[in-house]
Structure 1
Amino acid sequence: MLVDNGVNGDSRVQKEARSAAAAGWDVVLLGKSPTKREKRWQLGEAEVRLLHVPTPMHRRRHEYRRAFLRAPLAYRPGPLAAYRKQRMKAWRTELNIRLIQAGRNGSSLGKLRLLPPRVLAKAMSGWVGVRFNQTNALERRRKDMQSSLDRFTTAFWLRTMGDRAWRRLDPALWDMELAYGKVIDSLEPDLIHANDFRMLGVGARAKLRASTRGRQVKLVWDAHEYLPGIKPWNSHPRWHVAQCAYEREFSEYADAVITVSETLADMLADRHGLKEKPGVVLNAPDAEISPEQAAEPVPDLRELCGIGPKVPLAVYSGAAAPQRGLDIMVESLPQLPEMHVAFVVLRPTSDYMKQLTARAAELGVSERLHILPYVPHYQVVSFLSAADIGVIPIHHWPNHEIALITKFFEYSHARLPFVVSDVKTMGEMVTRTGQGEVFTAEDLADYVRAVQAVLADPKKYRDVYDTAGLLDEWTWEAQAEILDGVYARALGNDARKVPAVADSQVVA
């Protein structure tokens, strides 16, 4: 099983690995180490290995070359510009100290002797400053890539190379391959479960290499998102187009495709011309947890926030980014004088969290904003259940419209009333079930209205969860059976026989 992150914080991947191993499959989960050291641990019966991924290809080839026509005075790429500027500062500082010493000694001749080097140092500093500024300007242009030449070269590679153009547009994708490839080959898997688009190519190439050695490897592609519809998490203008080309090139090698919603399954089938519609495996929470997990004490959300049981508390749990709309929860606090807000996020000290903290201070509501780290995925439901409202304030992006996301199921099993923005799939579901209120995305007044409506009658929304069968299919146990069947069919086995043959199968 392949994933391009550090596993911790990725509840879907953790549940997939644990449940597949529990079903009898021999599972090795390969992820990306956040440090230069490889890490290993057990996740139930699954083995987790985090690999060191060097990133020398993060910079594109042209970023290592001089640009004599575009910036003739710029230094060559690398640390030389910073060194030269710092060296000039050191030289002028040294001359200034010598001038002070000459003055203390009353040496007029000494001061006179320092005049030529001081004039030269000033002139040289100006020259170095010009070249330093041109070097920095060139680096900015290379990152922005908005010039006519940049747009032409991007279009040229796409036209001449087609989907293979990612090799020119974002060669950093090779870094994943070079870190994972040999490890996958050494495991000799029968089946590779590739999570998301970057691992799709890694898995496809491993499958091709195995075929040259007479081994048949099946590839399951787990598409978490609709790639053309995401807000790119890398601002480089070539990044998104490169990832889309990369995904298109390798999608044909998938023997089975699974994804997170029926809508996304239809979109993937249409985009990639799949012979079969992808299976849907929802990222639902566990209905039951193991005895060792149950023995771990669940942190008290309200205690961590320093508030009592009757204080209104709205919670957001999950990825934190501007397009997730968390700012509206902070902006609403002056209009909701009793309300506290808790953000449960992977990186509580990220730049975005710091921005929201600063904004809370400007509004004078800092004491009512609480930023907390993730808890283990099997504790999320119990942890969140102490809140009064579960909020999903995401903005209108194509990828946000098409799925019931992880926190939707977590909030539901925590029996929280919802306040959700009017993104298509989740907004329609909440309206249909009556488990919360829908507000117009990015509309502060409408958000406040929705929160006030829930606080006025929370029992009305919580009672929805007593509806027979509502939560039954929204459990990981039900989804694990679907995943188990996908593996079995890909390998040509009846799903009911998986445990009997699993010893000979490896999911890498």
Structure 2
Amino acid sequence: MSSEHVVMVVASGIASDARVRKTAVAVADLGYRVTLLYGELDATEPVEGTLGPARTVGLPVAYTRRDEQVERRRARRAWRPSWPAYRDGEREEHGRQALNTRRASKGDTPEILARRGIHWARRTLRAAQDPAFRLAWGKYDGLRARFVGRTWRSELPNIVDLERVFTDRMAAETPDILHVHDIHLLSAGVRVKQRAARTGRAVRLIYDAHEYIPGTVARTVLEENALKAMESDLIGDADAVITVSEPIAEALRDRYDLRRTPSVVLNSPSLTVESTCAKDVRTESGIEPGTPLVVYSGVLNEKRGLPTVVQALSLLPEVHFAVVCVPDASHWRAALLMKAARKAGVSDRVHLIDPVAPEEILAYLRTADVGIHPLIAGLPNHEMALPNKLFDYLFAGLPIVVSDLKLMGAFVRENRIGTTFTASDHRDCARAIREALENVKVYGGSARSEEFTARFSWEHQIEQLDQTYAAL
């Protein structure tokens, strides 16, 4: 039993973050005293609670710097004149009207937000899939960064907001070990470690990299480069690095010349904790037993490739598609997906439903016939990923259909747990779904050995966590 105090931090809420929740409980079960600090957007004061043996504190986060930057950029765009020139006073009036319209649009219906998001979604998809477009998109941002001399901190005002909220509270907890989940609080963690060192206290820092940052897409190339520069500047201050797959671990080691290859902790379910849920995905979707049901569970951003599945339904007239929407089914991206379903003529077979607690997800998914993950191709982070929903489907006993990305596709094919299709190809997606539905006994849970599932269980991942903490 260790008397050391572990302070875990994550910038977002923890209600649906299975990895953060399981890690906090696991480290506490290893004998450490654990406090989990997380960002709580809806709070006005700290929210105290518990998560098993771990203490939790939700900190109110106000993204003041970020919102100020957004407003300044909106104002600059709103005041930009068009041709021909304005008459006296018209430019000011036009600017005020445009800015007021933008401000008034906050809090609009999901349908309006969906229309506003179409341009961003299309641009992100093109940036990921078309290198020439990506290069052209980045030219202005690259020149601006070069001549204005902006740093990663000035391009990431949300990081400054998070530092302002978390740094002092993290230090006040007097941690022996800081466990930082994802990149957004890495700078706050480094600050706390350095501040403690100046007073003669040694605080060890663990960076839990949930993604391969150099292989992701952000809103602008400036933002992407800022995140990469931030990670490059700070990762060397971590005493240990954890990540989510072997290829990402090797890429991080090589890119940043790390002394040790990061530990790999998969985001997988537990074998010993039984999942129970009062609801199930089939009942919530209103689908009768015997009707083929494909399920996706997760966030709805454009990189997940969900429109490909929607289009595939037009070739599978008997199949229904349930989307367990994170954060919820009223999100504007859910409205955008339903718009694509109406365009494809399959809206009566696409069902948007709310998520359940991470501990309930396996039981919730089991009444589906197939689990699907249609990630788009072209992003290194995707090619090297083994996402948590892959293991959710695996442990729920579902045949799995995935886009044929380098690691995920190989994992599904080599272990004969499902089928693969060419990313973003709805015809090939329809073929893969049909094949999975026709071969449930070949790909489903009944065909898998206990030894196979044990290899990927959370209990095995706890051993990796234990070794990482012991090495500190």
Once the 2 structures are TM-superposed, how far is the Cα of residue 286 of structure 1 from its aligned partner? Answer: 1.3
Tell me which of 229, 241, 245 is aligned to 1:261: 245
Q: Percent identity?
A: 35
Contact 2:399/2:445, CA 8 A, preserved across alignment: no
State the alpha-carbon separation in 2 of the partners of residues 72 and 420 from structure 1: 43
Point out which structure has higher relative CO (alpha carbons under 8 A, 6+ apart). 1
Per-residue CA deviation, residues 392-443 of structure 1 (Å, 9 max, x unaligned), is: 1111121111021101111111111111111110101111111111110111
Residue 411, structure 1, aligned to residue 426, structure 2: no
1:434 alignment counterpart: 416
SS in structure 1 at match of 2:35:
strand
Shift in CA distance, 453/124, structure 1 to aligned 2, threshold 3 Å: same
State the alpha-carbon separation in 1 of the partners of residues 189 and 170 from structure 2: 8
Per-residue CA deviation, residues 282-312 of structure 1 (Å, 9 max, x unaligned), is: 111011227xxx6x64312211111222110
State the alpha-carbon separation in 2 of the partners of residues 73 and 222 from structure 1: 43
Residue 6, structure 1, aligned to residue 13, structure 2: yes
State the alpha-carbon separation in 1 of the partners of residues 440 and 233 from structure 2: 49
Contact 2:293/2:320, CA 8 A, preserved across alignment: yes
Once the 2 structures are TM-superposed, how far is the Cα of residue 193 of structure 1 from its aligned partner? Answer: 0.3
2:301 alignment counterpart: 321
1:49 alignment counterpart: 57
Contact 1:74/1:135, CA 8 A, preserved across alignment: no
1:477 alignment counterpart: 459
State the alpha-carbon separation in 2 of the partners of residues 9 and 204 from structure 1: 26
Once the 2 structures are TM-superposed, how far is the Cα of residue 464 of structure 1 from its aligned partner? Answer: 6.9
Tell me which of 392, 397, 413 is aligned to 2:373: 392
Shift in CA distance, 224/71, structure 1 to aligned 2, threshold 3 Å: closer
Alignment map for 1:95-494 (pairs within 5 Å): 126=90, 128-132=92-96, 151-156=142-147, 165-232=151-218, 235-289=219-273, 297-346=277-326, 347-396=328-377, 397-462=379-444, 465-490=447-472
Per-residue CA deviation, residues 187-222 of structure 1 (Å, 9 max, x unaligned), is: 100000011111211111110001111110000110
State the alpha-carbon separation in 2 of the partners of residues 369 and 147 from structure 1: 36
1:500 alignment counterpart: none
State the alpha-carbon separation in 1 of the partners of residues 74 and 284 from structure 2: 54
Point out 4+ residue stretches in structure 1 off by more than 3 angstroms: 59-67, 70-75, 123-136, 143-153
Once the 2 structures are TM-superposed, how far is the Cα of residue 50 of structure 1 from its aligned partner? Answer: 1.2
Q: TM-score, normalised by structure 2?
A: 0.83
1:35 alignment counterpart: 42
Per-residue CA deviation, residues 41-86 of structure 1 (Å, 9 max, x unaligned), is: 211011111111222221577975999xx999779xxxxxxxxxxx
Contact 1:157/1:168, CA 8 A, preserved across alignment: no
State the alpha-carbon separation in 1 of the partners of residues 386 and 348 from structure 2: 32
Counterpart amino acid of residue 349 in structure 1: S
Contact 2:268/2:456, CA 8 A, preserved across alignment: yes
State the alpha-carbon separation in 1 of the partners of residues 91 and 430 from structure 2: 57
* Structure possessing the higher radius of gyration over alpha carbons: 1
Shift in CA distance, 157/471, structure 1 to aligned 2, threshold 3 Å: farther
- Indicate the larger mover: 42-51 or 123-132: 123-132
Structure 1 alignment gaps of length 5 or more: 76-122, 491-508
State the alpha-carbon separation in 2 of the partners of residues 63 and 364 from structure 1: 39
State the alpha-carbon separation in 2 of the partners of residues 241 and 488 from structure 1: 34
State the alpha-carbon separation in 2 of the partners of residues 61 and 380 from structure 1: 38
Once the 2 structures are TM-superposed, how far is the Cα of residue 129 of structure 1 from its aligned partner? Answer: 3.2
Equivalent residues, number? 427
Shift in CA distance, 194/73, structure 1 to aligned 2, threshold 3 Å: closer
SS in structure 1 at match of 2:362:
helix
Contact 1:434/1:464, CA 8 A, preserved across alignment: no
Shift in CA distance, 13/283, structure 1 to aligned 2, threshold 3 Å: same
Per-residue CA deviation, residues 293-342 of structure 1 (Å, 9 max, x unaligned), is: x6x64312211111222110000111211110111221122221111111
State the alpha-carbon separation in 1 of the partners of residues 167 and 231 from structure 2: 17
Contact 1:60/1:170, CA 8 A, preserved across alignment: no
State the alpha-carbon separation in 1 of the partners of residues 182 and 139 from structure 2: 33
Shift in CA distance, 59/153, structure 1 to aligned 2, threshold 3 Å: farther
State the alpha-carbon separation in 2 of the partners of residues 72 and 4 from structure 1: 32
Shift in CA distance, 250/308, structure 1 to aligned 2, threshold 3 Å: same
Shift in CA distance, 124/205, structure 1 to aligned 2, threshold 3 Å: same
Contact 2:396/2:445, CA 8 A, preserved across alignment: no
Q: TM-score, normalised by structure 1?
A: 0.77
